Chains A and B, each alone.
Chain A
Amino acid sequence: MRPVSSKAKIGAKELTALLTMYVVPNAFLSYPSAISHSGMEAAWMEPLLSGVIAMVLFLMVQTLIRRHFKGLDFIEIAKETFGRAFAILVALACAAYLLASTASVMREFEENVITTVLPLTPILMVGLLFILVVWYMAYCGLEGIARTSLILLPILVAGIVAVCLMTVNWWKPYLLLPIWGAGPEAVEAGSLRYSSIFANVLLVCILYPHAKDDKSFRRVGVVSILLSAVLLSGFIAVYHMVFTPQQANHMTFHLYQLARMIFLGRFFQRMEAIFIFLWVTSAVVKMAFTLWATAYLLASAFQWPVYRPILPALALGCFSISMVPTDVMSAVQWEQQYLLGWGWTIVFALPLGVVSLASLRKRGRRGRLRHA
């Protein structure tokens, strides 16, 4: 039986689109609210600073993998260096994080759809439709998700830019003052705390063997982080030119609130209905990717030859976890407290720790062989 890792190969453009599509949908989730709370008027700086942190860590991990573990993914590196039991533990931690992240995104989007376009539809029905689409996309595999991302990314970027530009008549640039908001220390702390939205360091460890072109992988990571950071920062800046940070703290669907403000004369107003479907589609791509990654990690750790048969159970588990919080505020609080606040341990610390220790161990072994 072929190992699960020897299948999909995707190009640089698709990978860039996929990694960007993973980060940018955070603009529709509780991330703007979290950074508005920590950075106040300077919240727009936080995605940029978080992007810089993520990029430095990404370059470190990518360099170590390229030098010492060419063609291996994160779990295979852990297995090769520290043994199977450790690799299983690492895979379980990452899979649990990704599953919880999928569930959290799903719940927030379910609430988003119910409060905006389908107020009379039961949440179970919206969730069921969501999970069916996500399961099908994950079933199509990494190549399918990556190609969908490539098609959707320009539309998503155009959608975000359009919402920002169409609210130009509401912009009050003085709302961005004082320039440092809650102070440089608060901005720095917020950037560090919420940097886990740039999960590129973890994703690079999972996707590395799937890159068609090994050399362009560094460019893929840099471009995707830059593009995501600039888009998020631009959106937050525009958002704070329309709403104050205090208002932002009490809102849940930020991009929707901004879209509701569009008023460009009698014929161009209340255009949020156009954008909602775009946001939901991009969220579906993000969830499909995380569901695929969860299944892939489990398959890789437990040496399953295929990952598809586990998808229905994972999708069902994900749907159930998304229904555990009793209301939308509990779901948002749960996401901000655990996934955003502690996500860095899984997204940055775990891959960096495993790859660095494995590299040191490999170098030590080589040194010992040379001296023997």
Chain B
Amino acid sequence: MLKFVIAMIIPVLVFRYTISFGGWLSRHRGAKGKVIGSPAYVVASGSLALTGYVLWRMLM
């Protein structure tokens, strides 16, 4: 479990960084930004979920 938690630090940081990129897009484009920022959230969530699944399978 500890291995998994430690291994997930980088994916969580990447997730946080990508979410902040989505937020930046939203702030810079106003109402339209919400639309162009949301794919970044999808990519961030997808990569976090997939990495979590793979690391869980390999380390647990």
A residues sitting closer than 8 Å to B (CB atoms) are: 1, 124, 298, 302-305, 309-310, 312-314, 316-317, 319-321, 323-324
**A87 CA / B51 CA spacing, docked (Å):** 28
Determine if A316 and B51 form an interchain contact, defined as CB atoms under 8 angstroms apart: yes
9 intermolecular pairs with C-beta atoms under 8 Å apart: A304-B36, A309-B40, A310-B18, A312-B18, A316-B47, A317-B43, A317-B51, A320-B47, A324-B50
B39 touching A313 by the CB < 8 A rule?
no
B54 within 8 A of A: yes
Measured CB to CB, the closest approach of chain B to A43, in angstroms, equals 34
Return chain A residues, CB-CB under 8 Å to B28.
1, 305
Asked if B39 and A309 make an inter-chain contact with CB atoms under 8 angstroms apart, the answer reads no
Q: Are A304 and B47 in contact (CB under 8 A)?
A: no
Q: How far is the CB of B56 from chain A (nearest CB, A)?
A: 11
**Residues 38-60 of chain B, each 1 if its beta carbon lies under 8 Å from chain A, else 0:** 01100110111011011000100
Contact of A320 among B40, B43, B54 (CB under 8 A): B54
* Shortest Cβ distance from residue B17 to the other chain A in the assembled complex, whole angstroms: 6
Query: Which residue numbers of B lie inside 8 Å of A, CB to CB?
Result: 7, 10-11, 14-15, 17-18, 21, 24-25, 28, 36, 39-40, 43-44, 46-48, 50-51, 53-54, 58
| Contact in complex: A303, B36 (CB < 8 Å) | yes
Q: Are B47 and A317 in contact (CB under 8 A)?
A: yes
In the complex where A312-B14, A313-B14, A316-B14 touch, is A302 in contact with B39 (Cβ < 8 A)?
yes
The residues of A that contact B51 with a CB separation of less than 8 Å are 316-317, 319-320
Most buried by A among B10, B40, B43, B48: B43
Query: Which residues of B lie under 8 Å from residue A298 when comparing CB positions?
Result: 39, 43
**Least CB distance, A5 to chain B, in whole angstroms:** 15
Main secondary structure of the interface of A (DSSP, over half): helix
Q: How far in angstroms is the closest Cβ of chain B from A130?
A: 14
Q: Are B58 and A124 in contact (CB under 8 A)?
A: yes
Measured between C-beta atoms, what is the minimum distance from B13 to chain A in Å? 9
Contacting A314 at CB < 8 Å: which of B10, B25, B43?
B43
Known A-B contacts A304-B25, A317-B50, A324-B54; the reply to A310 vs B14 at CB < 8 A is no
**B-chain residues with CB within 8 Å of residue A313 when the two chains form the complex:** 14-15, 17-18, 40, 43-44, 47
When the two chains form their complex, are residues A310 and B40 in contact, meaning their CB atoms are under 8 A apart? yes
**Counting chain B CB atoms within 10 Å of each CB, which of A302, A316, A323 scores highest?**
A316
| A301 nearest in chain B by CB position | B39
Inter-chain CA distance A127–B15, complex, in Å, is: 19
Instruction: Determine the chain A residues whose CB is within 8 A of the CB of B7 once the complex forms.
Output: 124
CB closest residue in chain A, given B13: A312
B21–A310 touching, CB < 8 Å: yes
Of all chain B residues, which has the CB nearest A318?
Answer: B47
A321 CA to B47 CA in the complex, in Å?
9
User: B25 contacts which chain A residues (CB < 8 A)?
Assistant: 304
Q: Tell me how far the C-beta of B32 lies from the nearest C-beta in chain A, rounded to whole angstroms.
A: 8
Q: Which of chain A's residues have a CB closer than 8 A to the CB of B44?
A: 313
| Across-interface contacts of A302 in B (CB, < 8 A) | 36, 39
Q: Report the minimum CB–CB distance from B7 to chain A (whole Å).
A: 8
Measured between alpha carbons, how far is A320 from B57 in the docked complex, in Å?
Answer: 11
Cα-based distance from A324 to B52 in the complex (angstroms): 12
